[in-house]
Structure 1
Amino acid sequence: MFELVLAGFVLAVACAAGVVALYERELRRMARFLDGRDPASNERVGVEFATSGTRALARGVNATLDAHGEANAAAIEHARAFRRDLAALSHDIRTPLAGAQGYLQLYERTGDEAERARCVAEARERLAAMRTLTDRLFDHAKAADPDAELPLARVEVLPLVEDVLAAAYPDFLERGAVPEVDFADEGFSATADADALARVLSNLVTNALRHGAGDVRIIQRGRTLSFVNAVREGAAPDVERLFDRFYKADVARNGEGAGLGLSIVANLCEKMGASVEAHLEGDELTITLTLAE
């Protein structure tokens, strides 16, 4: 009887040792795979000695590999976007500087006083455009700063809209456009920072005037505020990229602005707990703010 018990014990130990050896071999195989795996590949860990434990381990390892691959792809795309943004910014900086330099050179070559005065005026205009660009860059940096918090309070929206439209009156006049304001609730208020919300509204009006065509409609329904106008022929924007920094619908980048206005809008909305989205239907672009309660 003792011999049978001993034999059974020895057999159990041998089986356990065999299982441990199989686990050890499987783990070593997985380790060799991970050591030799190309980080840029999509290879995944397979299972040869299939148990609930090895399958769970493979799932966990593959989930980690997938997450790492997604993070790596996102980092690569971020680097590409940064290079595109840098090239766009470089173009927008060089253009007014080159123009100012050209007029100053022309100023030096001419003796005609009227022509000299024109050259100075043109150079000043381009340097002013450069100042506007640097101001917008500063505003964008402040709006994108994750550590900068806005003091939020109840803000009546219609008076802010009226102030923004009054300030933009010369621009409406210059472009022959008319603002149409339609508030279902004239007492509509939201939780926001008054200065930041005014900047958001101003940027949206400026964007509509610069890049749109015809009148600008501002429509309030519930907690939403929509800015609606037609887009210029051949200048339909990519609504998926409209709020990206430095994005311009005009790939030649010869329009006004630096493509920062709507990026600032998106950043400020996020800080205020609001959201912004764009829809293009036919030739009509609608940008809708959803403000916080």
Structure 2
Amino acid sequence: MSPGALAVLMLVIGVIAGALITTATYAPELRRISRLLDARRDGGTSANARITIGSHAPGVTELAEAINGELDRTMRAHIDGMRAQRDFQRDLSALSHDIRTPLTGAKGYLQLAADETDPELKLRRIDAAVERIDRTSELLDALFSYTKASDPDLALDTEPVELREVVEQCLLGHYPDFERLGWEPIVSGTDAPRIVDADRQALGRIVENLVTNALRYGSGAPGLRIAATPEQTILSISNPIEHPDELDVEHLFDRFYRADSARQGGGSGLGLATSAKLAEAMGMSLEARVDDGRLSIELRDHQS
């Protein structure tokens, strides 16, 4: 056999030997990984099971780490999904109670009105029933608005909007409410135009919800401030509250959140959550804090 042929033969033998060694090294590890993944898929092993390596073959450790990382991400997503489902069921139960209560009251007043012979008393009981039915309608409208604002495909038509004008129109619409409470809102920062890129209707809903929240749960007249910096335009609304220790600002914009003392205030717990969703859809954000017995909520425009 010539030297050249011998060299080729040795090369072929080396390749075959290398392939056999590689197969012997990697095949058991790959089979073990495959069995563990099959067992997880079929529910035959613990959800916390992780891939361990019995050899230090090049690349196997990196492969195991990558698979374990993906398993961890899947598990976290599963846990987050279960937690979200649990929270939704709890919140839905609370909303169901809030809807059922006024409906039950309306039914009772209508039954009393049906048996009432005094025309004046009959009318009062019918009015009370209508008031509770209106309350139910408000809750359903709030739920619809939140659902619409939470749509990931929500498309808003943004345009330059004068923030000052939106705020002033909202306050004017609530003039009877402020007059009834004997409050005079303090407004600052309206000396110059404050233009933001926003959907006018969505921005109006946000301001409306913030003012309504102050009127419904505040214990004194709110202060509103419009301020602009080179980075952003800010609308801040601040008002005193009676039970600041009960308020969890970390969850203030959560769906159905209400402080214990506010549960009788007539709100649905959806107004601020809806506002936060609308703000996010326009590249804005809502932030809250409590200082010295005052709740301050700020709308920040991050597009500026």
TM-score (norm 1): 0.90
Give distance in 1, aligned partners of 2:245 and 2:141: 26
Number of paired residues? Answer: 293
Partner residue of 1:290 out of 288, 294, 300 = 300
User: Deviation at 1:234?
Assistant: 6.1
| 2:264 aligns with one of 235, 254, 260 | 254
- Mark the CA change 1:94 to 1:251 in structure 2 (over 3 Å): closer, same or farther: farther
**Alignment counterpart, residue 87 of structure 2, candidates 74, 81, 85:** 81
Per mean C-alpha deviation after superposition, the further-off stretch among 242-251 and 198-207 is: 242-251
After TM superposition, the structure 1 = structure 2 runs for residues 219-230 of structure 1, keeping only pairs within 5 Å, are 219-222=225-228, 223-230=233-240
Distance 2:49 2:182 in 1: 60
Letter in 2 for 1:139: S
1:30 paired residue among 10, 33, 38 = 33
Q: Deviations over 1:229-263 (max 9, x none)?
A: 12222673222221122211128833312111111
- Amino acid of the residue matched to residue 108 of structure 1? A
| Cα distance in structure 1, aligned partners of 2:261 and 2:52 | 46
Q: For residue 113 of structure 1, report the CA deviation from its aligned partner.
A: 2.5
Deviations 1:97-153 (A, max 9, x none): 011011112223332323212111111111111122222222223322333322111
Paired residue for 2:192, among 186, 190, 197?
186
1:204 aligns with 2:210: yes
CA separation of 1:123 and 1:216: change in aligned 2, threshold 3 A: same
What is the aligned partner in structure 2 of residue 245 from structure 1? 255
Equivalent of residue 224 in structure 2, options 218, 226, 236: 218
Deviation by residue 1:178-235 (Cα, 9 ceiling, x = unmatched): 2111117521111112222111111100001111221201112221111111222267
Q: Which amino acid counterpart does residue 29 of structure 1 have in structure 2?
A: R
Q: 1:18 aligns with which of 4, 16, 21?
A: 21
Is the 1:40–1:69 contact (alpha carbons within 8 Å) kept by the matching residues of 2? no
User: Residues 252, 159 of structure 1: CA spacing in aligned structure 2 closer, same or farther, 3 A cutoff?
Assistant: closer
Whether contact under 8 Å (1:235, 1:249) holds in the other structure is no
**Counterpart mapping for 1:1-293 below 5 A:** 13-14=16-17, 16-37=19-40, 41-183=47-189, 186-222=192-228, 223-233=233-243, 236-250=246-260, 253-291=263-301, 292-293=303-304
* Aligned-partner Cα distance in 2 for 1:40–1:114: 70
Moved more, 94-103 or 237-246: 237-246
Distance 1:189 1:15, change over 3 A: closer
Q: Amino acid of the residue matched to residue 265 of structure 1?
A: S
The one-letter code sitting in structure 2 at the alignment partner of 1:224 is I
Task: Give the alignment's Cα RMSD to 1 decimal.
Answer: 2.5
Look up the equivalent residue of 1:284 and give its one-letter code. R
Q: Is the 8 A contact 1:185 1:220 kept in 2?
A: no
Q: CA deviation at 1:75?
A: 1.2
SS of the counterpart of 1:220? strand
Task: Answer yes or no: is the 8 Å Cα contact 1:185–1:221 preserved in 2.
Answer: no
Return the letter of the residue paired with 1:105: Q
Q: Is the 8 A contact 1:277 1:288 kept in 2?
A: yes
Moved more, 101-110 or 150-159: 101-110
- Structure 2 length as normaliser, TM-score? 0.87
Q: Which runs of 5 or more residues in structure 1 are unaligned?
A: none
Unmatched segments (≥5 aa) in structure 2: none
- Overall identity of the aligned pairs, in %: 42
Q: Secondary structure at the match of 2:263?
A: coil
- The one-letter amino acid of 1:120's match is I
State the distance in 1 between where 2:169 and 2:262 align: 34
